[in-house]
Structure 1
Amino acid sequence: MIAPTRIVVLGGGAGGLELVCRLAGREDCAVKLVDKVSTHLWKPRLHEFAAGTVNSTLSEMSFYMLAEMRGFHFEQGAVVAVDRTQKSVTLAAPPAFEKGAGRPERSHRTIPYDILVVALGGVTPDFGTPGVAGHAIRLDERRDADRFRDLFIDAMIAARETDRPAGIVIVGSGATGTELAAHLRQAERAFFEKSHAEGQKRLLDLTILEAGPVLMPGASESLRKTVRERLDALDIQVATGAKIDAVTGTEVRSADGGSWPADIAVWAAGLVGNPVLKDLADFEMDRKGRIVVDDRLRSTVDPEVFVMGDAASFTPAGADQPLPPTAQCASQQADYLGDALPQVIAGDEPEPFVYDDRGRLLSLASGGSVGLVGLFRQSDILVKGRFAAAAYNALQRQHQWAVLGPLRGSVAIAADMISPTGGPALKLHG
């Protein structure tokens, strides 16, 4: 009997987890997922964890539980290196077992592979801006969201006691920045003395700073206009052309002398490849620290190493820049590799990956949902209200179905929708 092909996927984000769930259970491959944390978080809603407004218990799921349920193996650990010659991955020992933690010291682990998929995601760069590392929060993972929420609760309680609004400055007007600001405005209501917020004095001053000349650079004019109207209605200040040159413990400063007082500063300016990518092996890298891949998502130096999601730099034929680092793109690449890798195992050459841009959606909490979607292969259409909200939620539901399977996913989603524990996590802090 021929031994199954060992497929190791590094990174359990949106794309990586969907891929292992698609491949798990096949007789021709043995699938192993590696991640440094034990739970999967739907990262597009990380800002809701930070604001405390997340209302789905399915937004975070245990890798161990999913591995048992879907039939793949999960290995927890931080990736240190990839040995392409020996076809192995080296993982650091878990922090709890490191020297001085009260347990015997354990060495690095080595995991062999036949096919490797790198899906280690991206991070928010500070561009060398002074003070960002020490005074600003970057929402890259769950612990960042937890840290922000602790600071936010403390600032809001102080604002209520001192009658001085807390100031939060968000640098970057992309999806993370705009959605976080809107959800923080919603979370503010939990701290009002009365159960109804009407007529209450603001406890929170919110400002979004954008280095570019317009809000949400790269978005269409119609979407920018609609988002700006929603932010204005939520009393969220926006300043464009603000090129930040310093962040301190009390303010955010721009190169032209502008200054914005900040009890909490959030740095949400762009996305680059995870810093660990450049040290994994001798991969070809782009200027944003992502691994360059061909039209089958293979690394340019090794056809048995595939790269996907925010870790990959793929420029379609005729395009002038790589695909965007979005969950939509990662999910499509997971679908592609779910079909392509079995073809590779069988000795066949898969068709090239083709990206289908299905639009852009934003959830602005009480400001409503808004976005652009492509319908029937026509030009993007601006959507608002209930349709936009349904489309936004459908993105996560599709991910949950892919991860849990159609039957379990439908049951879990139905249970989650009627759960009495749903609703903003900050409602108990009022």
Structure 2
Amino acid sequence: MATTRIVILGGGAGGLELASALAHRPGLDVTLVDRVGAHIWKPRLHEFAAGTVTSTLSEISFYMLARMRGFRFEQGSVTGIDRAAREVRLAPPDVPGAAGSERRIGYDTCVVALGGITADFGIPGVREHAVRLDAKLDADGFRDRFVALLINARQTRVPAHVVIVGSGATGTELAAHLRLAETAFFDRPETADQPRLLDLTLLEAAPEVMPGADEELRAGVVRRLAELDVTVVTSARITAVEPDAVRAASGESWRADVTVWAAGLVGLPVLATLGDFAIDRKGRIVVDAFLRSTVDPTVYVLGDAASLTPEGAPQPLPPTAQIASQEAAYLARSLADRAAKPFRFKDKGKLVSLGGAGTVGLVGISRNDFFVDGQFAKAAYHALQRRHQWQVLGALRGSVAILADVISPTRGPALKLHG
């Protein structure tokens, strides 16, 4: 039997699930490529940033996973795809004092799953003065700053000011976890009435919080943000981020000891330089209904890197973990069956858990969504990451990881928005 070489670029939720699903299939030689050496469940970055959970239980070595699951792992930064030679190019290893050369990995099928990055929209000061939570290093750096601010606030009795721009998943999740983390710095945490150490402001450019979300879900989130004493400002079109303030076109400004920029995802800049692929206005590679690039049927794209517009839809699917996971499952089947049907996304709903302020969500059943609250919504959310852990680690190891996560002493109330 001839061996088919499949190279997957990017070990995020979709890329790693695909590699794990394909690795043991006969006739396939699977290689996963990633810039860093460990996988992290990215929807939890906000928890790591706030310090309500450590990353040690959710960070898994790609090298270990490769040995466990049966694929090959190559660590390195992707610089391009040579479609004529069917080779992926990787930058030389960045080792101080050591000379390296470009690496090339041959493929029969290439899957681009390099993910996305938070857009700055060219607004002055975002790159220089705002934090964007795109990787574990970003979360670690923010957490150090946040801890220093809260220590100072406790000493001076002057609240620290944190401004979050963007009321989607990142902004909403982070706001609630920061409010939860604040309690660790209270002098008497067991006492309910404590002076605030943290002033939280959430800014949204749209006229409403969570633009595009169902009205019932949005209303539930707004109520709970109010319970958490988060100041929410809509129709705030930001024009500049300064070292100590955020300014809007209206002339308003908000004091900021630290600003978090969470205003939506675009494709990684490298996607536009990989080759001659069609790129949409958000920097993502355009694909057809089978997740194939429009210029080469041997190059597929999934997750945040892909721009897929379903038939009859006005715009491409949004960049979410739910979509990336479904695309990975689809490719796991279709790469072995060239006569596969087109990809169809099945929306399983959106879930928002705002710490002590409760959990709400919309769960898709058949053609309808229904509103859920309380313990059912919380359990439904947890199922998302549990499914990912089982797919990546297998049933036995996945169950062990889930148990370790549940009993972790650093675990705080969950705060998640998945769509």
- Give the TM-score taking structure 2 as reference length: 0.96
Quote the Cα distance in structure 1 between the aligned partners of 2:221 and 2:110: 40
- Pairwise CA distance, 1:360: 0.8
1:374 and 2:347 are equivalent in the alignment = no
1:320 and 2:314 are equivalent in the alignment = yes
Q: For 1:414-429, what aligned pairs fall within 5 Å after superposition?
A: 414-419=403-408, 421-424=409-412
Q: For 1:205-220, what aligned pairs fall within 5 Å after superposition?
A: 205-220=199-214
Whether the aligned pair in 1 keeps the contact of 2:48 and 2:55 (CA below 8 Å) is no
Aligned counterpart in structure 1 of residue 353 of structure 2, from 332, 353, 363: 363
CA distances 1:213-258 after superposition (whole Å, capped 9, x unpaired): 1111001111111000000000000000000000001100001101
Partner of 1:238: 232
Tell me the amino acid that sits aligned with residue 353 of structure 1.
F
Whether the aligned pair in 2 keeps the contact of 1:183 and 1:366 (CA below 8 Å) is no
Tell me the amino acid that sits aligned with residue 287 of structure 2.
V
User: Structure 1 residues 380-389 or 296-305, which shifts more?
Assistant: 380-389
Quote the Cα distance in structure 2 between the aligned partners of 1:232 and 1:424: 20
- Pairwise CA distance, 1:424: 4.6
- Pairwise CA distance, 1:57: 4.8
- Pairwise CA distance, 1:408: 2.0
Quote the Cα distance in structure 1 between the aligned partners of 2:309 and 2:189: 51
Quote the Cα distance in structure 2 between the aligned partners of 1:5 and 1:422: 44
Whether the aligned pair in 1 keeps the contact of 2:360 and 2:371 (CA below 8 Å) is yes
Q: For 1:179-258, what aligned pairs fall within 5 Å after superposition?
A: 179-258=173-252
- Pairwise CA distance, 1:367: 1.9
Partner of 1:413: 402
Aligned counterpart in structure 1 of residue 106 of structure 2, from 105, 109, 112: 112
Q: For 1:39-50, what aligned pairs fall within 5 Å after superposition?
A: 39-50=38-49
Partner of 1:90: 89
Partner of 2:163: 169
Q: For 1:82-161, what aligned pairs fall within 5 Å after superposition?
A: 82-95=81-94, 97=95, 101=96, 103-161=97-155
- Pairwise CA distance, 1:85: 0.4
Structure 1 residues 328 and 322: CA distance shift in structure 2, 3 A = same
Please state whether the residue corresponding to 1:214 is helix, strand or coil. coil
Quote the Cα distance in structure 1 between the aligned partners of 2:407 and 2:170: 28
- Pairwise CA distance, 1:279: 0.2
Aligned counterpart in structure 2 of residue 397 of structure 1, from 379, 386, 395: 386
Partner of 1:387: 376
1:14 and 2:13 are equivalent in the alignment = yes
- Pairwise CA distance, 1:414: 2.5
Quote the Cα distance in structure 2 between the aligned partners of 1:360 and 1:57: 27
- Pairwise CA distance, 1:19: 0.2
Note the residue ranges of structure 1 that are not aligned, 5 or more in a row. Answer: 426-430
Tell me the amino acid that sits aligned with residue 405 of structure 2.
D
Quote the Cα distance in structure 1 between the aligned partners of 2:53 and 2:316: 31
Q: How many residues align?
A: 413
Please state whether the residue corresponding to 2:336 is helix, strand or coil. helix
- Pairwise CA distance, 1:59: 2.0
Please state whether the residue corresponding to 2:350 is helix, strand or coil. strand
User: Structure 1 residues 86-95 or 160-169, which shifts more?
Assistant: 86-95
Whether the aligned pair in 1 keeps the contact of 2:350 and 2:363 (CA below 8 Å) is yes
Q: For 1:52-91, what aligned pairs fall within 5 Å after superposition?
A: 52-54=51-53, 57-91=56-90
Tell me the amino acid that sits aligned with residue 24 of structure 2.
G
Note the residue ranges of structure 2 that are not aligned, 5 or more in a row. Answer: 414-419
Partner of 2:416: none
User: Structure 1 residues 46-55 or 150-159, which shifts more?
Assistant: 46-55
- Pairwise CA distance, 1:184: 0.3
Quote the Cα distance in structure 1 between the aligned partners of 2:356 and 2:128: 32
User: Structure 1 residues 304-313 or 403-412, which shifts more?
Assistant: 403-412
CA distances 1:252-305 after superposition (whole Å, capped 9, x unpaired): 000110100000000000111111000000001111110000111000000000
Tell me the amino acid that sits aligned with residue 205 of structure 1.
D
Tell me the amino acid that sits aligned with residue 380 of structure 1.
D
- Pairwise CA distance, 1:407: 2.3
- Pairwise CA distance, 1:56: 7.2
Please state whether the residue corresponding to 2:142 is helix, strand or coil. helix
Whether the aligned pair in 2 keeps the contact of 1:295 and 1:316 (CA below 8 Å) is yes
- Pairwise CA distance, 1:366: 1.9
Structure 1 residues 370 and 30: CA distance shift in structure 2, 3 A = same
Quote the Cα distance in structure 1 between the aligned partners of 2:407 and 2:253: 46
Quote the Cα distance in structure 2 between the aligned partners of 1:58 and 1:342: 33
Partner of 2:293: 299
Structure 1 residues 56 and 136: CA distance shift in structure 2, 3 A = closer
User: In percent, how many aligned pairs have the same letter?
Assistant: 62
Tell me the amino acid that sits aligned with residue 298 of structure 1.
R
Partner of 2:261: 267
Aligned counterpart in structure 2 of residue 353 of structure 1, from 327, 343, 352: 343
Whether the aligned pair in 1 keeps the contact of 2:48 and 2:54 (CA below 8 Å) is no
Tell me the amino acid that sits aligned with residue 83 of structure 1.
D
Supply the RMSD in Å over aligned alpha carbons.
Answer: 1.4
Quote the Cα distance in structure 2 between the aligned partners of 1:369 and 1:51: 19
Tell me the amino acid that sits aligned with residue 369 of structure 1.
T
Quote the Cα distance in structure 2 between the aligned partners of 1:56 and 1:136: 22
Please state whether the residue corresponding to 1:129 is helix, strand or coil. coil
Tell me the amino acid that sits aligned with residue 391 of structure 2.
A
